[in-house]
Structure 1
Amino acid sequence: MPRIRGTFSTKIVQEIGTGTTKRKVIQSFLYFAEENEKGEIELRALNENDVPSGEVQIITKEELLESFTPELELYITKVFPAIKELNKTLAKADRQRQLGNTFTAEMEYGKALNIDEENIRANFGIGLCYLSRQEDEKATDIFKRLVKLDAAFEKQHKHLFNDFGISLRKNRMFEEAVEFYSRAIGLTDNDDNLFFNIARSLYEEGKRKDAMKYVDKCLALNPESTPARKLKKHLEKKINV
């Protein structure tokens, strides 16, 4: 059977006031719902531009059918076209960034952020543009935004996450790189690359003993990691000098 994907609404009844002024208020909320591979429903609230935005809430199909009402016309006339336009803008931005046209890419990512300011792909993209131009102050602002968002470290964004962390390190923004990778630990499956990238950043920052701790954590997960073994060997020579 096809997976559930569409716009749904739900109503919440609240009582406000006291005594004779007490009254019921009904609030309506709109969500974009999409069934994932596990059969769970991922819910995201629709923003004022009719696109899903913010953190994902997970509910069951039963909860969706029991507490939410399908809004098919709204999905067809507003939500689906808005999502399609946003994805088109993001694709154009990604293409321009990959071609090295960072100013054009920045403009397109800016358009996407005007539609959804929490869009992970757009935030990573514009941050990578700033880093490639060594505009560290602007990149730091994007870093501060991304590091607060759990969604930035989801598996679907892994390649962007890796590119961003590596770019932070290459721009000698070592503290930010370490904080960025550290934030991912616990939000992702045990990944030896995270520990290696922290070790590499700490090493380049001159913190050799701290770097060794993370190299050892990397090798505990993946004893065959060639880059980690090389870094460990190099660190042992430097520390023992």
Structure 2
Amino acid sequence: MTDYPAILGVFSLRRNEEVGTGATQARHDQLTYWYARQLSPDVVEIQPLNVYHVPSGIKKLCPLDEFLRSYTPEPRYYEANTVPALNSLRAKIDQGEKFFSMGLLDDAEKAFLKALMIDEMSVPANYGLGDVYSEQKDFQKLRRVLTVLMGLDDAFSVEYRQKLNTFGVNLRKQGFFDESIAFFNKALELRKDDENIYFNLARVHFDKGEIEKCIGILNIATTLNPEFVEARKFMRYCERMTTQ
């Protein structure tokens, strides 16, 4: 049985477009390159490549039969351009995360910025840079990164579930309560059934002293997952606070 998603590689799409009018009208071939992943037996996800040959930008879903009719495989392009670029991007992100774990924030910032030069929409690089600015309490730079992340639906996908929660928690721990609340609320627009996001959002409201809101949100988390022991303990603690 095939595990999905499965990387198909780089494919090209050639379109003929008419340019000009009347006597000056001419046909022009436009060739674009796309990164393709098969999500299911019938659906392929395609994403355009940027000038650095890495997938970046809006992803689209395409029926498999239409994809096979319209797109041409480019294995040499993929091996010669995209694979090395993706490896370089990954290496810079790994380096940034290593520096961050060592407390070398300036070096981590430089590594993440180098990664963003290859793909400014890279979710892990933006998360990494956001963590750096959160630790440095550099609100102006952090706000710019937050704006980017809030505009990337991929940042709230299952693939980045751990980074999502860690980033939001770091915002809370550094005292950026309103930013953490906005971030978790954005996540819930796309992930309404994730009890962990509700739990982490409740923690922010607790730290702000908004106990009633905290209890209400914990109630949602425990409704979604009745076995969420930590959330139930936290809710009982908060309820005792309100009766004192």
TM-score normalised by the chain length of structure 1? 0.89
Q: Does 1:61 align with 2:64?
A: yes
Give the 5 Å matches for 1:173-184. Answer: 173-184=176-187
Give the 5 Å matches for 1:58-207. Answer: 58-188=61-191, 190-207=193-210
**Equivalent position to 1:227, from 226, 230, 239:** 230
More off after superposition, 154-163 vs 112-121:
154-163
The Cα shift of 1:4 comes to 4.8
Q: Is the 8 A contact 1:55 1:151 kept in 2?
A: no
Give the whole-Å Cα distance in 1 for the aligned partners of 2:15 and 2:201.
45
Give the whole-Å Cα distance in 2 for the aligned partners of 1:58 and 1:159.
25
Give the whole-Å Cα distance in 2 for the aligned partners of 1:159 and 1:133.
22
Structure 2: tracts of 5 or more residues without a match: none
Q: Is the 8 A contact 1:102 1:129 kept in 2?
A: yes
Structure 1: tracts of 5 or more residues without a match: none
The RMSD of aligned alpha carbons is 2.3
More off after superposition, 139-148 vs 54-63:
54-63
Q: Is the 8 A contact 2:165 2:200 kept in 1?
A: no
The Cα shift of 1:39 comes to 6.3
Give the whole-Å Cα distance in 1 for the aligned partners of 2:201 and 2:142.
19
> Structure 1 residues 168, 219: closer, same or farther in 2, change over 3 A?
same
For residue 55 of structure 1, give the secondary structure of its aligned residue in structure 2: coil
Q: Which residue of 1 aligns with 2:55?
A: 52
Equivalent residue pairs, number:
241
TM-score normalised by the chain length of structure 2? 0.88
**Equivalent position to 1:7, from 7, 10, 13:** 10
More off after superposition, 40-49 vs 222-231:
222-231
Give the whole-Å Cα distance in 1 for the aligned partners of 2:14 and 2:212.
56
The Cα shift of 1:240 comes to 4.0
2:174 corresponds to which letter in structure 1? Answer: N
Runs of 4 or more off by more than 3 Å in structure 1? Answer: 1-4, 13-26, 36-40, 237-241
Give the whole-Å Cα distance in 1 for the aligned partners of 2:221 and 2:186.
16
1:86 corresponds to which letter in structure 2? Answer: L
For residue 58 of structure 2, give the secondary structure of its aligned residue in structure 1: strand
Identity %: 31
